[in-house]
Structure 1
Amino acid sequence: MEIRKLNTLRGIAALIVFVTHFSDITQWLDGALGGGAGAYGVMLFFMLSGFLMSHLYLAQELNGRSIKYYVLARVGRVVPLYLLVVLTSYLLTLSGSDWLYHIPDSEALLGHVLFLYGDSVLWSIPPEVQFYCLFILFWLLAKNRRGYIYLLIVIVMLALFFTNFPRIYGDLNGVPYNQFNVLRSLPYFFVGVVFGLHYKTLVIPDYLRKHGFVAALCLIPLMYPELSPVTSDAKNRMWLSYEVLLVMSTVFFCVVFLVPDNNLLLANTVGDFFGKISYSLYLLHMPVILQVNRFELAVELKLILSLILSVVCAYLSFICFEKPLARLIRDRAHAQHSATMAISDR
């Protein structure tokens, strides 16, 4: 069953990233909404991924058929548009244009294609894909040894903390890699996995399920470096701060478990729309903002124009490429799964 309010949360995550990059590029409001605060939107994306994979798959039986279906479904969701953007960026860069992203040579292209490295906003896709692989281990433990999932998460979290999130990056024969991005992202995937494990079983008393908990989303701008009342370095360390992890986990918990599913602010057609185009919006908004910023316009007009054009590009990408290809891959996986089941029943 679809958890509709998560569509809006996904759209909010994309808009956080959009607004942050717009603020950084144009210095809108003196950059108060920038300063790397787009990280909070990416954190929401990662928690959503961990939650949905845990919620959708861990209760299913793990076998060759289910793994194949899982892999094809995940690939269909993320990889096609990413590869199209990467390859187009590479060809444009070779022609002397950085209209999309800067991928200057075959080594950089290989780093992107192998999900080892990402330029600009593309950095978040390798951690996503690598976590898809790690999730199979969780799935393996889920049937009879579910408790080991918690133990594994605790061990990894402690190891990351005591090793200060090791900076593992560089290049191998010219091919760039950045595992630091993966390591710093893991806690957010883990939070999503734990919440997903308990979504169906955790009983929340009716007196706690209130629409007012949607206000927890207001905690996110309170962590923006230029807006935060926090005086520690947590607001600047962001990914490396367990305090930030606590706040973002609180926001996610409130939205998923405490806000009623029929909340009008989170369950509506606008939220559904932005949720559907969120991935395309995330990948395509930066080039649009950079191009619009070249115009001699008031910053408010740049904001409106950037948002409209980004949404249009994202919608066209979703309708013409992302959705059809994802459906084709998913339907193929489903057909193969059904055919295999039919053979096994004979």
Structure 2
Amino acid sequence: MQIRKLNTLRALAALIVFFTHFSDITNWLGGALGGGSGAYGVMLFFFLSGFLMAHLYLDKPCNKQNITDYFLARIGRVIPLYLVIVFASYFLTQAEKNTLYNIADFNTVIGHLLFVYGESVLWSIPPEIHFYLIFTLLWSFSQHRKGYIYAAVVVVMLVLFFTNFPKIFGDFYGIPYNLFSILRTLPFFFIGVIFGLHYKQLKIPAYLRSHWFVLALCLIPLMYPEFSPITSDAKNRMWLSYEVLFVMATVFFCIVFLVPDNNILLANKLGDFLGKISYSLYLLHMPIIEMVNTLSLSIEQKLIVSLLLSIFVAYLSFNFFEKPVAKMIRNRASTRQRHAMSTGIKQA
């Protein structure tokens, strides 16, 4: 069963990143919405990713067929557009046209293809891919004892905390890598997995479910460096702060578990639409903002044009590239599976 609220939450995550980058690039509102605050949108994406994987797969047998279906679904959703952007960025950079992202040499392309490095917003794709692999281990653990998942999560989070999130980055024979960006995201995936593990079983008392819990979303701007009442370094460390993890996990829990499913602010057609195109919107918005910023427009006009153009391009990308390619991958896999079964029957 689809959890419709998650569409709007995914859309909100993409919009947080959009407005952060617009504020940084154009100095809109004095840059108050920038300063790395887009991290909170990416955190929501990672919570959603871990949650949905656990919700959709942990109750299924961890066998070859289900694992194949899992990877095809994940790869078909994320990899094709990512690869197109990486190679397009490289060739455009070679042509001295910085229309997308600055990928200056083929070693940097290799870093992207190995999912150990990411330029600009592309940095978030390697952690996603690595977690797809890690999740298969958690999935296999759950076949024996689901409690092993908790043990693994606790151990990893303690190790990350006491090692101060190892700063592992550099280059290997000219190929850049940044494992630090992967390690710092793991706690957000893990909390998402734990929430997804309990979504079907956890019974929230009726008196605790209220539309008012949607106001938990207001906690996010309260963590923005320019608005936060927090005086510790948590508001600047963001990814490395377990205080931030706690607040963001609270927001996610309130929206997913405590807000009724029919909440009009979260379950609506606009949220469905923007959630559907959120991945394209996330990957493609920044070059569009950069382009629009060169135009002779007021900053308010730049905001409107950038947002509408980003949504339009994301819509085209989703409908004419992402969705058809993902469908093609699934169809070819199904064809091969039927062929293999047919061959096996004949041989038998």
CA distance in 1, matches of 2:341, 2:248: 41
Residue 176 of structure 1 corresponds to which residue in structure 2? 176
Question: CA offset at residue 108 of structure 1?
Answer: 0.3
TM-score (norm: length of structure 2): 0.97
CA 1:98–1:206 in 2, change beyond 3 Å: closer, same or farther?
same
CA 1:143–1:159 in 2, change beyond 3 Å: closer, same or farther?
same
CA distance in 1, matches of 2:116, 2:225: 29
Residue 286 of structure 2 corresponds to which residue in structure 1? 286
Question: CA offset at residue 327 of structure 1?
Answer: 1.5
Aligned AA for 2:290? Answer: L
Q: Kindly indicate whether residue 70 of structure 2 is the aligned counterpart of residue 70 of structure 1.
A: yes
SS in 2 for 1:200: coil
Deviations 1:70-120 (A, max 9, x none): 111110010000000001000000101111001111100100111110000
Alignment of 1:1-346 (within 5 A): 1-337=1-337
Give the percent of matched residue pairs that are identical in Structure 1 and Structure 2: 66
SS in 2 for 1:166: coil
SS in 2 for 1:176: strand
Question: CA offset at residue 337 of structure 1?
Answer: 4.9
Aligned AA for 2:67? Answer: I
CA 1:343–1:140 in 2, change beyond 3 Å: closer, same or farther?
farther
Question: CA offset at residue 144 of structure 1?
Answer: 1.3
Q: Which runs of 5+ in 2 are unaligned?
A: none
Aligned AA for 1:75? Answer: I
Deviations 1:152-205 (A, max 9, x none): 100000000000000000111101110000000000000100000000000100
Question: CA offset at residue 251 of structure 1?
Answer: 0.3
SS in 2 for 1:190: helix
CA distance in 1, matches of 2:207, 2:87: 52
Question: CA offset at residue 69 of structure 1?
Answer: 1.1
Q: Which runs of 5+ in 1 are unaligned?
A: none
Question: CA offset at residue 338 of structure 1?
Answer: 5.8
SS in 2 for 1:2: coil
CA 1:117–1:3 in 2, change beyond 3 Å: closer, same or farther?
same
Contact 1:69 / 1:337 at 8 angstroms: preserved in 2? no
Contact 1:69 / 1:334 at 8 angstroms: preserved in 2? no
CA distance in 2, matches of 1:247, 1:344: 53
Question: CA offset at residue 65 of structure 1?
Answer: 1.2
Aligned AA for 1:221? Answer: P
CA distance in 2, matches of 1:128, 1:137: 15
Contact 1:169 / 1:177 at 8 angstroms: preserved in 2? yes
CA distance in 1, matches of 2:260, 2:223: 25
CA distance in 2, matches of 1:239, 1:5: 25
Aligned AA for 1:204? Answer: I
What is the RMSD of the two structures over their aligned residues, measured on CA atoms? 1.4
TM-score (norm: length of structure 1): 0.97
CA 1:60–1:338 in 2, change beyond 3 Å: closer, same or farther?
farther
